[in-house]
Chains A and B, each alone.
Chain A
């Protein structure tokens, strides 16, 4: 089996699993409990918070654990929108955001807020000058992702956040795909809020975090107990938090080396595909991209048909969208980059990870050659 879907999720790192186990068993306590079993759990949660804060270069109380990045995005956007409602109701985001951001913004629009969706260029980048032009007196939040999940395109975050700061507007970034894959600047330097996910970096599913810069006004979305400094009610998922911190440290510490290795694999993979399969488009190639992501359109061949052929050969990849994933519309990311619906419908995403080797990719290239030849043979688009 060759797994090339690391932007969807990753296998749990054995050391993360090992770190988690005691908190399912003997240290099962509720971190809010008074007694010793509870205190063990509380200590584990706070140590994990500190470990993640150290990676981001922030203070521990600025890390809020959530059930994942979707919840972190919701907390950031809804939380700021509610907290600053009297000051303004305008939010700026981009057309290529993850649905956790896009659908949240759309929900706020339906509830009376105003949202500007910044377009991207053909390489998938937001233009900082365009951001500045769209800032209004009532703009309260700018939310732009760090790196795109489908194409790997990295946004000019430093420029974007500098503009936000100059105008005194809060800046949120969904850094799910960048965290642990790219060497990042200190979080406080580039944003006010940052969403993180654990299972994209070999941690467990069901846990994420939101970095919230000290002093940022935020109204909780989930109300209840006093957990997470009153910003996220609900008993902490202790084993997952511990696994997340462990995985984050491993990913962070190996990131520089691993990103060089993966970029080498990706560049070789793309060069060989370009040489052996005609009529392909590599999306976002002109932009700075995540080292592990390759989004490719194989013209005149439908993406799910490619995925199934690969799956039957033991190769796991993904499409920007496919009816099977419940998302019948062609990828909104590729559409925003100027692709026709039909070109968007031919795209496959390969996202590499720790286990990916050069030999794996040679196998995938061969599999793609036969698959594309076969499917083009039956395609009605000549």
Chain B
């Protein structure tokens, strides 16, 4: 050990190498899951007979998205979206629809952008605001659904309007 300490290369190089390999810096680029959801986004499209609809925009970068939901027995049975957005916006929107589809309205309302980011395995820090788009549009579409059905069944979101 003492001899090793006199050889600075032996003493420091392995540690430095390890540190470099294990370095946990900021996420600089999209991971494979994000790229997958960007190149092959799930639930893309439009819906003619939607129960809820939202058009939202991110004024900070000009992104825009539309999202439609279909609700049966209080369950989000179908979701479709379209997006004018960056890869971060498209991938997080795609993942948001995957997470929400099949869930009850009340469960979907609890979905956060952090849930989406976690499901994607992280996104670059400066892209975090993009993840607000998908979840924001989902919540806005649910609000639209609730408003449309408010006078029909104000007490319950499980009743579907005829």
User: Using a CB–CB distance below 8 Å, which chain A residues touch chain B?
Assistant: 300-302, 304-305, 308-309, 312, 322-324, 326, 328, 330, 341-342, 344-345, 377-381
Contact = CB atoms under 8 A, between A and B. Distances in A.
Given A312-B35, A312-B39, A345 B62 contact: yes
Contacts of A324: 86, 124, 126-127
29 contacts: A302-B85, A304-B86, A305-B86, A305-B90, A308-B38, A308-B87, A312-B39, A323-B86, A323-B88, A323-B126, A323-B127, A323-B129, A323-B130, A324-B126, A326-B126, A328-B60, A328-B61, A341-B62, A342-B84, A344-B62, A378-B41, A378-B83, A378-B90, A380-B55, A380-B65, A380-B81, A380-B83, A380-B84, A381-B84
| A-B pairs with lowest CB-CB distance, top 7 | A380-B82, A304-B86, A345-B62, A380-B66, A381-B84, A308-B87, A378-B44
Contact of A379 (B62, B84, B124, B130): B84
Nearest to B61: A328
A342 B127 contact: no
Interface string B97-131: 00000000000000000000000000010110110
Contacts of A341: 62
A345 to B, nearest CB: 4
A301 B124 CA distance: 21
B124 to A, nearest CB: 7
A305 B87 contact: yes
B72 interface: no
Nearest to B64: A380
Contacts of A322: 86
Contacts of A344: 62
B82 A378 contact: yes
A328 B90 CA distance: 17
A379 B83 contact: yes
Contacts of A380: 55, 64-66, 81-84
Contacts of A300: 84
A382 B161 CA distance: 30
A341 B81 CA distance: 22
B144 interface: no
Nearest to A382: B82
A372 to B, nearest CB: 13
B146 interface: no
Nearest to B34: A308
B82 A379 contact: yes
B91 to A, nearest CB: 10
Contacts of B129: 323
Interface string B69-88: 00000000000011111111
Contacts of B55: 380
Contact of B84 (A301, A309, A323): A301
A302 B86 contact: yes
Contacts of A379: 82-84
Contacts of B65: 380
A330 B30 CA distance: 21
Contacts of B90: 305, 378
B93 to A, nearest CB: 9
Contacts of A304: 86-87
Nearest to A326: B126
Contacts of B41: 378
Contacts of B126: 323-324, 326
A324 B65 CA distance: 20
